[in-house]
A and B are shown apart, each in its own frame.
Chain A
């Protein structure tokens, strides 16, 4: 571990950071370039590193929809609560989901009222839980992107192999490139460059962003999550802009490749099939969801309990949708810091540790 920590230090070196900031400022044009970091982990790293004010005037960093908790629609939470309340299911979830508001309640509030929710750290833990409680139906709340999909798929395959019939998944798995396409096409957002996620790209490969670069003429750079990764990624986007090109580049080549992790991709293809799905604040995006394939239908909670997740967004003062699309900054939302704070979140962007509003609130970006 010691050697690896020294390795991480190389990506946090203050002198290199300073040089990169100077290069970004030199390369910047008159108006700030509008770049979007798609992934919530980038959003947090940028806020934690104090990077946004460091680049003010040169670069406007917009935060994208890449926090899975934030984009999960309230109908999903309601469906999960109903499975627990009406079907007596034992719910297993990642901890971040607990405080996400549904239409009228959250898993945390319902837990206080007796709903059984177990926090797990891996989907496989939920299979183990099901095997240990054969008289209960265990439903795992499968929320995530391409990074989490292989783990959820692996859990489903494990349950199938071991014959754990009381295990199922309420899937809310989404894919990033489709959401990026919608944002790229939105004239209100006006994205001039995408800082593409590190971990997602390890799975899907940097080639996955090629259609976006080609079709919309928007430069894409895959970047790691360390401060220097982010600064170098931004600098690479600026260089593309200056050269007038739009291609996919990979700053995170120490881990992510152009083709990604084939094994994980095969696992996803085996267990899931693409579907249209609703994103909180954005709407339905074609082909951006992963539902459980028919051959694993007995592990699909929506099929098993005949309880489909309904996507029916309601109008409210919460502007998470515009925050998720990068149209406004959290501070421009009328609820931010008033009716919506981390202890009492109103919108999903304030709930998750990776939410844009939470990052702005916590680190004062």
Chain B
């Protein structure tokens, strides 16, 4: 059979067969191969180039962003004054009720170096790692809301598993009503975030905010996750399928914050 083809074509055919077999092997057994170290090397190699490409993109947006930030700072200063007063009042009330006081978290700013994943980004490489005190499991967020948690750490970089990762699950509650559910990625009919395990009898309205509940002990309580886009009965007609639009615009990620050391400190 092989004699029909010239040697060069036989060689390339054999090479293709080898690649196909390797690919099929990786598809079948790839999840069992430890690839974290290889991704670490990849992140280390790509980080300087990512920085160059991103800095060009960011310089163009920096001026406009600066103006927006000035305005936001002024607004936030006013709001902060109001919140400080409300915080004092809240602490006094909690003390009176013998409830534990809410803890403050230190935020470590990081730069988003790269995004990966198809349809929706599922992972991000950020510019802080073990040397900066970032640990696996630390929550990552932006001003808008929760982004995910640190999945892998390297010396000066980390990889964030975003809430859109197929293996991610975030214990959430709906603001003010306290309806609980688990936020996951659903792939049918298209990739989207869905709040699962919500009983049909619970009342959920479009536009309500979804926050972390703190029950999974992976994330502190009260971080914004998204907003309810739709709530319809699922296939079993026993549960609600609540579609959630993420609070963070995943296509516009530039900077984020890590809450370091939350594992040791305990949640929420």
Asked if A and B are interacting partners, one says no
* Chain A contacts to B: CB under 8 angstroms: none
* Chain B contacts to A: CB under 8 angstroms: none
